Structure 1
Amino acid sequence: MSERNIPLLVTTDWLAERMDDPNLRILDATTFLKQPAQGGYYDVWSGKDVYDKGHIPGAVYADLLGELSDADSPFKFTVPHREQFIEKITDLGVGDDTFVVVYDQAQAVVGAPIIGSDWASRLAWQLRYEGFENVAVLDGGFLKWEKEDRPISTEAKPYSKGHFTGTRNDDLLATKEDVKNAMEDDNVVLINSLSPADFAGESDTYERSGHIPSSVNVFFGQHSDQDTLQLHPEEQLRETFEKVGALDPNKKVITYCGSGIAATWNALILNQLGQDNVAMYDGSMTEWANDKDLPLNK
């Protein structure tokens, strides 16, 4: 039987102890994002080449950009149709009798000293959204695994196809309409997960700059130690989110970012801290800023 009720985040030690479990599925979600030197919308590309050069033994590559997003959407990383997701994720071996650890090999932004496993948390969020709960993100990701001189492989051996029967959990996803309503609702905490500069409207990444009215800024890149690569102690994380009222059990939290990636990292940490009423705005600033009828503050 597969291990059940695994933690939301697991350590490299935890994973290493379970590498021989036949029900374990390890997914490498590496994707790369870079801000163009001349400004404007970011460049994004697959991490498959990096995966091919070396990955955690047994891991298979999960293509967030190409196979696990809606190719017909005008925005990158939009949630795909459920049928598409299930087809691709079961091809990677994920099924009802498995447990999954997701990691990535990327710093959040190429060339920037930001540590966080937001690509991994995006895939973990998508799995939970489609009804698969037995998934964890590897704290510190591949960078920590490699730093500890643990084994690395270039072999790409597929798992047998999985059988997936989970039910979609719509409570995990927020729409543009949900966010519009949240702006006037004191019972909802809107969290902008981007950098303070993005929040203040000092960048030109999106069609328009600024932040959604009533939202507060909790930068996703501040949660991990740059040396150990691990998350900061729980007390420090709790203090960060308590300051903005996000751990109030009577409130709902909606996280957003640029394209629904970094926002899943904040959402995961909130869940880890006990806040279960968290949704992620999938369209985030990419969608919001493109609708000129919607307000932005600076």
Structure 2
Amino acid sequence: MSDVPRHVSVEWLHEHLADPTVRVLDGTVHLSPGDDGPRIEPGRASYEQEHVPGAVFVDQVSALSDPEGEAPFAAVGPDRFAAVVGELGVGDEHRVVVYDSVNGIWATRLWWQFGLEGFDRVSVLDGGLDAWRVAGFETTSGTETYPPTTFTARRRPDRIRSTQDVEAAVDDPDVLLVNALDRGLFAQGHIPGSVNVPFDELVGPDGRMRPIEELRELLASVGALDPGKRPVTYCGGGIAATAVALTLMDLGRDDVAVYDGSMNAWTADPGRPLER
């Protein structure tokens, strides 16, 4: 395992922006209400308006989501991921910092996809672009690039679960399903046997991660730190689930998987059970 921390502060990034081995990626995606469900829009326009100096934009909607997957946002395969991030200028030798300008879960999604492909030299910017601004650090506009390079993907199949896997896990006492949606949505319907750790309770009012001991208490309270159970996190579309997966890894779990299709895939078949 890498000794690179899973979070870095805005102060750390500010000090290391000139480091030629550091690559900064803005993975912002905007979700807004629409007549036919949520409207999903890559954050390229907001990136071009304002971003951390030196950051490049990665389109997680079109470039890193598999349109033939079992649900929207399905992770692309290793070859596609390697091609996309290599073209963005991320190579095996680089140290990557990811962030977004919304609620942090798009940064953790990008962090998770790097880890899924065997790359651990990646950190989430704690607090994202908001924390960068609050610290008084300057932002820039326009588009930036790094020279393309080669990235090697080494898929870790133990970090991802399919609907078929989760159907089997419902009756497996050794697996704990962890729902990352807010408590109201959890109450409306969840996969049987799930516990609830809302992603927005992992951060404080400033958007930065809560103290590690507070997070330990929260995760322990639902049994997610029980060494006899393997955690599988999920949410609506596999995005917020990655924030809980990251927190569990921060607390020492190296056996966390994400149900990539999450509720979008689970509810596609009305015959699958839901608890309310």
Decide: shared fold, TM above 0.5.
yes
Deviation at 1:288, TM superposition (A): 0.4
What is the aligned partner in structure 2 of residue 224 from structure 1?
203
Equivalent of residue 194 in structure 2, options 201, 209, 215: 215
Equivalent of residue 43 in structure 1, options 39, 50, 67: 39
Does the 8 A contact of 2:95 with 2:122 survive in 1?
yes
Residues 1:150 and 2:137 aligned together = yes
Once the two structures are superposed, what CA deviation does each residue of 1:90-126 show, in whole Å capped at 9, x if it has no partner?
Answer: 111111110100000013xxxxxxxxx1100001101
Residues 1:60 and 2:74 aligned together = no
What are the residue-to-residue correspondences of 1:242-281 with 2, within 5 Å?
242-281=220-259
Structure 2 CA distance, aligned partners of 1:21 and 1:46? 28
What are the residue-to-residue correspondences of 1:86-125 with 2, within 5 Å?
86-107=82-103, 117-125=104-112
> Greater shift after overlay, 8-17 or 54-63?
8-17
Structure 1 CA distance, aligned partners of 2:259 and 2:15? 35
Structure 1 CA distance, aligned partners of 2:10 and 2:39? 30
Once the two structures are superposed, what CA deviation does each residue of 1:192-214 show, in whole Å capped at 9, x if it has no partner?
Answer: 1111111111xxxxxxxx10000
Structure 2 CA distance, aligned partners of 1:263 and 1:223? 12
Deviation at 1:142, TM superposition (A): 0.4
Once the two structures are superposed, what CA deviation does each residue of 1:33-79 show, in whole Å capped at 9, x if it has no partner?
Answer: 1244x6x6322111100000010000000100111111234632111
Following superposition, which runs of at least 4 residues in structure 1 exceed 4 angstroms of deviation? none
Deviation at 1:189, TM superposition (A): 1.0
- Count of aligned pairs between the two proteins: 275
Letter in 2 for 1:45: E
Deviation at 1:16, TM superposition (A): 1.2
Equivalent of residue 13 in structure 2, options 8, 12, 15: 15
Deviation at 1:232, TM superposition (A): 1.0
Structure 2 CA distance, aligned partners of 1:224 and 1:81? 31
TM-score of the superposed pair, with normalisation by structure 2? 0.96
Does the 8 A contact of 1:251 with 1:277 survive in 2?
no
Percent identical pairs in the alignment equals 41
> Greater shift after overlay, 58-67 or 181-190?
181-190
User: Which runs of 5 or more residues in structure 2 are unaligned?
Assistant: none
Once the two structures are superposed, what CA deviation does each residue of 1:208-234 show, in whole Å capped at 9, x if it has no partner?
Answer: xx10000011111111111x3211111
Letter in 1 for 2:45: D
What is the aligned partner in structure 2 of residue 83 from structure 1?
79
Deviation at 1:153, TM superposition (A): 1.1
Does the 8 A contact of 2:79 with 2:153 survive in 1?
no
